[in-house]
Amino acid sequence: MNRFVRSRDSSCMCMFAGLLVLLTWCPALVTAGTYGGGSGTADDPFLIQTAEQFAAIGETPADWDRRFKLTNDIDLSGYDQTNFDPIGRWVVAGWSENQPFSGRFDGNGKTIRGFQYRDMESQYVGLFQYVTGQIVNLRVAGAKLSANGVGVGALIGYLEKGAVSDCSAVQVTVSGNEGAGALVGVVDGTLYASWSSGNVSGVRYAGGLVGRVGGGRVTRSYSKASVVGREAVGGLVGGTSKGTSIVDYCYAVGPVDGDTGVGGLIGHVGGVVAWCYSAGKVTGEQSVGGLVAHQYALADVHSSVWDRETSGQTTSAGGTGKSTAEMKSIDTYLSVNFDFGGMWTICEGRAYPILLWQIPPGDLRCPDGVNFTDFVWFAAGWRHADCGVLNYSCEGADLDGTGNVDVRDLAIFSANWLVGVEW
């Protein structure tokens, strides 16, 4: 492990200072120079501009209660298990030297690419190993992780408490043992408005987004990942193990394959599941369900549906089976009180519902995603200067809310061209 070697800014002036000054000031200068600026506070977070600066966080446990903000997309392909220390440290339960990341990491909508990490010995493996703080607005793309202990996810191995929001694991490959998920291995905290795609494989508790949910909550989230496992395998979550867990306002559309306890959304359910649906193909040997495979004694699965046709499953330990046509009709969801005012939207007859937060700027009309249909409506509002509530902000074309439709709106529209389009 190259734990004590890190790059530093060349601005350290220690060479020109006396010995006393060096001893007194250099530690402070080095700490500040490790990152791209900032002081680690809420008002002035440490700025992370490069892969080297990101890697420095894992090497600096003293900063794990501080605030960080990512200012650029970064590429971690120069790092792997030989020279990258995950952020937060967990060795075994109850060990006094376990130390979580308890601060806040703001991904600022940026992407971390190229992370590859293989650790067949540790519990909890991810960019962040052990978290009790907050991670927001961060995308992890193309990561490849292999682990054999409990808990592996591209972003986090173990979210003990605290929250993850507006994060994604995109086209990641996660391979683990117990508790493998594309984004987070084990969740006892809160995960919301997050999503995943790619491939997850595990033995027990393998899920498209999260491997296992203990006492925590997964909400307003979805997964497109394909999942393969042996026991407790689900398109969104492998299993929820406690009565206090909640999974709500969620969906999974990726294929799920396992031996026993295989569900389109969740394999084994111990807590509440509500206002969710699943539509991926589900295959398994025994205890297989379209939405969920098995409910423990305290479980409560309600107001949820699955696609009987695409899943290939006519039964489920919870939820109601529907035809594909029914799954693309708002009536199906209204009948179980899905919230289409504040939570969901649907292109009636064309697609399954999606979460409102998924709609990209410029997606003015159905079908989902920003395509030529939206461009026609955008063009209809072009150069109008009377945008307001009466004309729906010029049919939605006033994307920045300035009251007129000009090149700045076109720039936003162009930047989102084809975002959210299903191929």
CB nearer Ca ion, residue 188 or residue 368 = 368
Q: Is 395 in the site for Ca ion (CB under 5 A)?
A: no
Q: Give min distance, CB of 29 to Ca ion, in A.
A: 45
CB nearer Ca ion, residue 25 or residue 375 = 375
CB nearer Ca ion, residue 54 or residue 413 = 413
Is there a cis peptide before residue 61, judged by omega within 30 degrees of 0? Answer: no
CB nearer Ca ion, residue 183 or residue 405 = 405
Q: Give min distance, CB of 194 to Ca ion, in A.
A: 23
Q: What is the per-residue binding string for Ca ion in 350-389, x denoting contact by CB under 5 A?
A: -------------x----------x---------------
CB nearer Ca ion, residue 93 or residue 407 = 407
Q: Is 409 in the site for Ca ion (CB under 5 A)?
A: yes
Amino acid at residue number 110: K
161-176 burial, b for 16+ CB within 10 Å, e for fewer?
ebbbbbbbbbbbbbbb
Q: Is 398 in the site for Ca ion (CB under 5 A)?
A: yes
Q: Give min distance, CB of 371 to Ca ion, in A.
A: 6
Q: Give min distance, CB of 330 to Ca ion, in A.
A: 17
CB nearer Ca ion, residue 61 or residue 420 = 420
> Of the candidates 70, 61, 60, 68, which has an alpha carbon nearest to the alpha carbon of residue 40?
68
User: Out of 300, 400, 410, 417, which residue is the one contacting Ca ion (CB under 5 A)?
Assistant: 400
Q: Is 300 in the site for Ca ion (CB under 5 A)?
A: no
Please count the residues of this chain forming the interface with Ca ion, following the rule CB under 5 A: 6
Q: Give min distance, CB of 390 to Ca ion, in A.
A: 16
Q: Is 414 in the site for Ca ion (CB under 5 A)?
A: no
Q: Give min distance, CB of 364 to Ca ion, in A.
A: 6
User: Out of 402, 411, 415, 418, which residue is the one contacting Ca ion (CB under 5 A)?
Assistant: 402
Q: Let me know: does 113 contact 76? Beta carbons within 8 Å.
A: yes
Q: Give min distance, CB of 405 to Ca ion, in A.
A: 5
Region from 4-12, 259-267, 401-409, 411-419 binding Ca ion, contact rule CB under 5 A? 401-409
CB nearer Ca ion, residue 248 or residue 374 = 374
Q: Give min distance, CB of 366 to Ca ion, in A.
A: 6
> Of the candidates 268, 270, 224, which has an alpha carbon nearest to the alpha carbon of residue 250?
224
Angle between helices 372-381 and 407-415 (to 10 degrees): 170
Q: Give min distance, CB of 392 to Ca ion, in A.
A: 14
CB nearer Ca ion, residue 232 or residue 387 = 387
Region from 181-189, 215-223, 336-344, 406-414 binding Ca ion, contact rule CB under 5 A? 406-414
Can you give the binding site for Ca ion, defined by CB under 5 A?
363, 374, 398, 400, 402, 409
